[in-house]
């Protein structure tokens, strides 16, 4: 039976990064994946690493650190993952949104982040195709983009150079524990692997993996649809552009109601657009709880297009060539879970990043490696500990 | 290869040679070929080239995924403007 220091389950962006970082540390690592590399959420998402969509505090702090790591990886890796720091632009539809945005920006600027307000004239200078009745926006200098599945391929290929073993098309059937309740082996449909440490990076599927050791992870799949434009000579967006109302669709606790159609409201659609290296645009965004269903919904396509042409009227003449959907690993408190599970020694979780998996992949890989190597983590990550749910249960 | 390369994906202009090299290097599935080369990601959504890609993967021994359509079909069937999709009144 083959034996490893650590077995990483799930070869999406989090698992690929965790496996790479562990291999770089000199550990013997296996990456086990039920399908191909990046065959789930990481190839059905958008393509950015942002701080502008994070809440002030640790969320922004680790998001910022992750972008710094991206810059370093883009230089080190021989595999290109199309990384670019282009900045990002929030647009505010109304004066009221602009007021909320000002409060948010001053909080982030106080923490030292390069975010600033832009007025309606500057908005037009940055993006001439934007509707001319918008109130203003936020420019975030550090925000970056990349190709998410090429990032997974890059982590895996760089990991392989360091001795990482990849078992794709291996479906995990069971995890066995020894008499003391510690991790002992991973059983797949194509063989069993011995290990004392497992990192569960299965994203929306991580609750199914955790069930095998009797642990309940409160992650729910949150669906998002994206429309793709044809290649067009019109540069309708030079970097990520999204409506500030996006923040409001992401975080349920922000009390603000946009003036939108019933259809847009019903499907929780907020405008976002990103250019890709292939000269298409990705147009979103959408959030809904529909289980694991990733079929395309025509109503949601209508709603996304309706919201998009409100902000970028030029899009009316540009074709949509395709639609896809993915499911994000959502947790109630919008913070990823990065920790060992106390009750099952050797069982680690790195999951629950919702829409921030791409953003947070490098820093998550680094944090897990620090935890496993017994080194101090760069940040105090108590808030990311899985035990927070136990405490919440005890309170309620 | 002859001097005139055979184009498999007309929308993204991906040649047979590029696809063969990708399968041989990565032993990958049709889906991974698509993501790595962009073959099938153009305006027709792979409606022209998907069967050729599947065939090449099968012949060259890439990863096969059982009981699944190797490359999925995605809407819209034909390109449609964001204006029509978004119900613009013009």
Name the strands in the sheet holding A115-119, side by side, starting at the edge strand that comes first in the sequence: A115-119, A136-140, A88-92, A240-243, A269-275, A281-286, A220-229, A319-330, B80-81
Q: What is the 3-state secondary structure (H, E, C) of chain B?
A: CCCCCCEEECCCCEEHHHHHHHHHHHCCCHHHHHHHHCCCCCCCCCCCCHHHHHHHHHHHCCCCCCCCCCCCCCCCCCCEEHHHHCCCCC
Inter-chain contact A319–B45, Cβ cutoff 8 Å?
no
Question: For residues A231 and A316, what is the distance between their CA atoms, to the nearest angstrom?
Answer: 14
**Residue among A201, A189, A258 at smallest CA distance from A20:** A201
A200/A115 same-domain check: no
Question: For residues A276 and A48, what is the distance between their CA atoms, to the nearest angstrom?
Answer: 10
Question: For residues A222 and A330, what is the distance between their CA atoms, to the nearest angstrom?
Answer: 6
Inter-chain contact B80–A296, Cβ cutoff 8 Å?
no
Chain B neighbours among A 175-204 (CB < 8 Å)?
A: none
The predicted pLDDT at position B41 comes to: 94
A180/A239 same-domain check: no
Burial of A116 (0-12, 13-18, 19+ CB in 10 A): middle
Of B65, B81, B87, Cβ closest to residue A318:
B81
A122/A201 same-domain check: no
**Residue among A246, A279, A165 at smallest CA distance from B38:** A279
Q: Is residue A63 part of a domain?
A: no
SS3 A96: helix
Say if residues A162 and A19 touch (Cβ distance below 8 Å). Answer: no
Helix ranges restricted to H, A116-201: 120-126, 148-161
Of B36, B42, B85, Cβ closest to residue A320:
B85
Interface test with B, best of A44, A320, A323, A325 (most B CBs within 10 A): A320
A38/A154 same-domain check: yes
Q: Is residue A78 part of a domain?
A: no
> Nearest-CA residue of chain B relative to A40?
B31
The predicted pLDDT at position A361 comes to: 98
Say if residues B71 and B50 touch (Cβ distance below 8 Å). Answer: yes
Interface test with A, best of B13, B44, B67, B85 (most A CBs within 10 A): B85
**Number of helices (H), then strands (E), in chain A:** 11, 21
pTM confidence score: 0.95
Of A153, A307, A309, Cβ closest to residue B83:
A309
A349/A200 same-domain check: yes
Q: Is residue A75 part of a domain?
A: no
* CB contact burial A139-163 (16+ within 10 A = b; e otherwise): bbebbbbbbbbbbbbbbbbbbeebe
A244/A390 same-domain check: no
Of A310, A330, A350, the one marking the end of a domain is A330
A207/A248 same-domain check: no
CA A396 distance to own-chain centroid? 29
Q: State yes or no: pLDDT of B30 exceeds 60.
A: yes
* Complex-level ipTM: 0.91
The 10s digit of each residue's pLDDT in B46-87 is: 999 999 999 999 999 877 665 566 677 889 999 999 999 999
Interface test with B, best of A305, A306, A325, A326 (most B CBs within 10 A): A305
Q: State yes or no: pLDDT of B5 exceeds 60.
A: yes
The alpha carbon of residue A148 is apart from the nearest alpha carbon of chain B, in Å, by 10
Q: Is residue A71 part of a domain?
A: no
The predicted pLDDT at position A299 comes to: 96
> Nearest-CA residue of chain B relative to A281?
B82
| Cβ–Cβ contact A308 with B under 8 A | yes
Inter-chain contact A319–B80, Cβ cutoff 8 Å?
yes
Question: For residues A68 and A187, what is the distance between their CA atoms, to the nearest angstrom?
Answer: 37
B79 contacts in A (CB within 8 Å)? 230, 319-321
Tally the domains of chain A.
2
Q: Is residue A66 part of a domain?
A: no
Inter-chain contact A43–B88, Cβ cutoff 8 Å?
no
First to last CA, chain B: 50
Of A304, A330, A356, the one marking the end of a domain is A330
Question: For residues B40 and A343, what is the distance between their CA atoms, to the nearest angstrom?
Answer: 47
> Nearest-CA residue of chain B relative to A318?
B81
A239/A286 same-domain check: yes
Q: Is residue A56 part of a domain?
A: no
The alpha carbon of residue A282 is apart from the nearest alpha carbon of chain B, in Å, by 12
Inter-chain contact A316–B31, Cβ cutoff 8 Å?
no
Of A38, A169, A301, Cβ closest to residue B85:
A301
Q: Is residue A291 part of a domain?
A: yes
SS3 A244: coil
Helix ranges restricted to H, chain A: 13-24, 58-76, 95-110, 120-126, 148-161, 206-211, 245-250, 262-266, 298-311, 357-373, 388-395
Interface test with B, best of A316, A317, A324 (most B CBs within 10 A): A316
| Cβ–Cβ contact B48 with A under 8 A | no
HSE-CB at B80 with a 13 A cutoff on CA atoms is: 17
Residue A233: domain span: 88-141+220-330
CATH code, A200: 3.50.50.60
In percent, how much of chain B has pLDDT > 70? 88
A195/A305 same-domain check: no
**Number of neighbouring beta carbons within 10 Å of residue B42:** 23
Weakly modelled stretches of chain A, pLDDT under 50: 396
| Cβ–Cβ contact A58 with B under 8 A | no
A316/A191 same-domain check: no
> Nearest-CA residue of chain B relative to A277?
B38
Burial of A12 (0-12, 13-18, 19+ CB in 10 A): buried
**Residue among A316, A318, A286, A312 at smallest CA distance from A301:** A286
| Cβ–Cβ contact B66 with A under 8 A | no
The predicted pLDDT at position A82 comes to: 96
A213/A225 same-domain check: no
Q: How many residue pairs from chains A and B have C-beta atoms closer than 8 A?
A: 90
Of A280, A307, A330, the one marking the end of a domain is A330
CATH code, A267: 3.30.9.10
A166/A199 same-domain check: yes
The predicted pLDDT at position B61 comes to: 82
The alpha carbon of residue B71 is apart from the nearest alpha carbon of chain A, in Å, by 12
């Amino acid at each position: 039976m083959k034996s490893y220091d650590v077995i990483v389950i799930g070869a999406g962006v989090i698992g690929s990064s965790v496996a790479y970082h562990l291999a770089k540390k000199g550990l013997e690592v296996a990456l086990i994946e039920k399908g191909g590399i990046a065959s789930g959420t990481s190839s059905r998402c958008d393509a950015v690493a942002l701080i502008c969509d994070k809440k002030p505090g640790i969320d922004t702090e680790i998001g910022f650190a992750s972008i710094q790591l991206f810059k370093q990886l883009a230089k080190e890796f021989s595999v290109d993952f199309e990384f670019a720091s282009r900045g990002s632009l929030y647009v505010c539809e109304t004066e009221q949104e602009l007021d909320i945005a000002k409060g948010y920006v001053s909080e982030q600027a106080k923490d030292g982040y390069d975010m600033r307000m832009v007025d309606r004239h500057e908005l037009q200078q940055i993006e001439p195709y934007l509707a001319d009745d918008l109130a203003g926006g936020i420019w975030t200098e550090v925000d970056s983009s990349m190709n998410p599945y090429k990032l997974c391929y890059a982590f895996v290929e760089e990991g392989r150079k360091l001795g990482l073993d990849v078992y794709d098309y291996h479906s995990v059937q069971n995890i066995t524990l020894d008499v003391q309740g510690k991790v002992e082996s991973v059983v797949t449909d194509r063989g069993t692997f011995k290990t004392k440490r497992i990192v569960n990076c299965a994203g929306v599927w991580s609750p199914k993996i955790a069930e095998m050791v009797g642990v309940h992870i409160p992650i729910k799949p949150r669906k998002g649809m994206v429309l793709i434009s044809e290649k067009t000579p019109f540069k309708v967006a030079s970097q990520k552009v999204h409506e500030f109302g996006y923040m409001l669709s992401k975080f349920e606790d922000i009390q603000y109601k946009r003036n939108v159609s019933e259809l847009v409201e019903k499907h929780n659609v907020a405008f976002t657009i990103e250019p890709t290296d292939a000269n298409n645009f990705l147009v979103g965004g959408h959030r809904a709880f529909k289980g694991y269903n990733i079929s395309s919904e025509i109503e949601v396509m209508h709603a996304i297009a309706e919201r998009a042409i409100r902000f970028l009227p030029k899009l009316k003449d540009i074709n949509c060539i395709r639609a896809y959907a993915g499911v994000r690993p959502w947790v109630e408190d919008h913070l990823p879970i990065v920790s060992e599970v106390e009750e099952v020694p050797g069982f680690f979780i790195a999951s629950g990043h919702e829409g921030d998996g791409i953003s947070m992949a490098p820093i998550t890989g680094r944090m897990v490696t620090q935890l496993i190597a017994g080194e101090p983590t760069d940040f105090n990550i108590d808030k990311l500990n899985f035990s927070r749910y136990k405490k919440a249960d005890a309170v309620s | 290869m002859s001097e005139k390369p055979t184009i498999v994906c007309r929308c993204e202009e991906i040649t047979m040679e590029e696809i063969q090299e990708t399968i041989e290097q990565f032993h990958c599935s049709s889906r991974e070929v698509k993501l790595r080369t962009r073959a099938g990601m153009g305006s027709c959504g792979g409606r022209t080239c998907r069967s050729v890609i599947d065939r090449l993967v099968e012949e060259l021994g890439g990863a096969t995924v059982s009981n699944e359509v190797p490359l999925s079909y995605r809407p819209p069937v034909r390109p449609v403007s964001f204006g029509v999709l978004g119900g613009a009144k013009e």
